[in-house]
């Protein structure tokens, strides 16, 4: 596994495993498989309702806690301290590696202050945002005691967040790509440009997309419930894309929102 250093000095794996839309009852098995494959970053959220499954898997894996990086996300701006404690309890851990505000909820600066306190008390090691853009993002950055380590946003080859990525770079805030395959929408797995590149490297389109993010300094958290795909998505550390292939994929960008959420 390769790691990226966050703006607070903490190391985070450059590739993670996302568990959105995996029922809690199936999560333990999936996360156990992902850990077996070699994933060490697990991305969950209070809203997903599967933190307990993640915690069960980590416990059952026997892997030392400090070798696994857990990200979770706040589902509300009410009772934030209680929500953090609930996540700790469900994840069955003493600390959360990275806690994000899941989306702009209002009173975000007040939420941020409570998250900063959670860092000071050791319950959380790093804090960040998700789906924060424009003034909502600026408001946190301008007033933060602790700058956001990460902003997790919709990011795939059709939405490359070119100008926003530069803004994030100013505070060394890592862009983390949710839906790195756009959940397969818009024919991303069969895109002819990516498929042509994939055939020259003897790789799949999924692997080419993930490698593209890696080489752009972006952390990706693909989800799959199939072990063969977990393996495929993890097998990206043995090749590098040439500059002209990077450029060809960059040219696919349309800054196109595939979900209509943010
Ligand atoms: N912060 C946010 O607001 C937010 C929003 C959405 C997602 N996320 C996070 O980002 C993670 C990833 O996003 P996502 O799950 O929405 O979408 P995604 O990772 O772009 O796509 C997942 C879909 O692609 C399929 N897939 C995975 N690997 C494949 C491969 N190698 N070949 C063909 N199909 C493949 C999966 O099917 P199978 O499972 O059937 O294999 C699933 O249908 C989530 O799990 C979650 O942790 C965060």
Q: Domains in the chain, start-ordered, CATH in brackets?
A: 3-250 (3.20.20.100)
- Residue of the nearest CA to atom 43 in ligand 1? 183
pTM over cut 0.85: yes
104 C-alpha to center of ligand 1: Å? 22
Q: What is the per-residue pLDDT for 54?
A: 98
Ligand 1 pocket member 229 (CB < 6 A): yes
17 C-alpha to center of ligand 1: Å? 9
What residue ranges of the chain have pLDDT lower than 70? none
81 C-alpha to center of ligand 1: Å? 29
- Residue of the nearest CA to atom 31 in ligand 1? 229
Q: What is the per-residue pLDDT for 262?
A: 87
If 0-12 CB within 10 Å is exposed, 13-18 middle and 19+ buried, where does residue 132 land? buried
């Amino acid at each position: 596994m390769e790691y990226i250093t966050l703006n607070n000095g903490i190391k985070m794996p450059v590739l993670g495993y996302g568990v959105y839309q995996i029922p809690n009852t199936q999560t333990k098995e999936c996360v156990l498989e992902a850990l077996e494959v070699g994933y060490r970053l697990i991305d969950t959220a209070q809203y997903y309702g599967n933190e307990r499954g993640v915690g069960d898997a980590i416990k059952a894996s026997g892997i030392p806690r400090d070798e696994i990086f857990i990200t979770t996300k706040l589902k509300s701006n009410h009772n934030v301290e209680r929500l953090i404690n609930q996540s700790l309890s469900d994840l069955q851990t003493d600390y959360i590696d990275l806690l994000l505000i899941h989306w702009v909820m209002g009173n975000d600066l007040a939420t941020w202050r409570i998250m900063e306190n959670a860092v000071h008390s050791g319950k959380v090691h790093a804090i960040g945002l998700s789906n924060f853009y424009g003034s909502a993002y600026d408001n946190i950055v301008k007033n933060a005691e602790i700058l956001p380590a990460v902003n997790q946003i919709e990011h795939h080859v059709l939405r490359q967040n070119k100008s926003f990525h530069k803004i994030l770079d100013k505070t060394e805030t890592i862009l983390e790509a949710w839906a790195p395959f756009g959940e397969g929408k818009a024919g991303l797995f069969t895109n002819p440009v990516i498929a042509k590149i994939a055939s020259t490297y003897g790789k799949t389109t999924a692997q080419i997309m993930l490698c593209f993010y890696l080489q752009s300094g972006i952390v990706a958290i693909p989800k799959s419930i199939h072990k063969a795909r977990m393996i495929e998505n993890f097998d990206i550390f043995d090749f590098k894309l040439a500059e002209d292939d990077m450029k060809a994929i960059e040219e696919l960008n349309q800054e196109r929102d595939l979900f209509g959420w943010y």
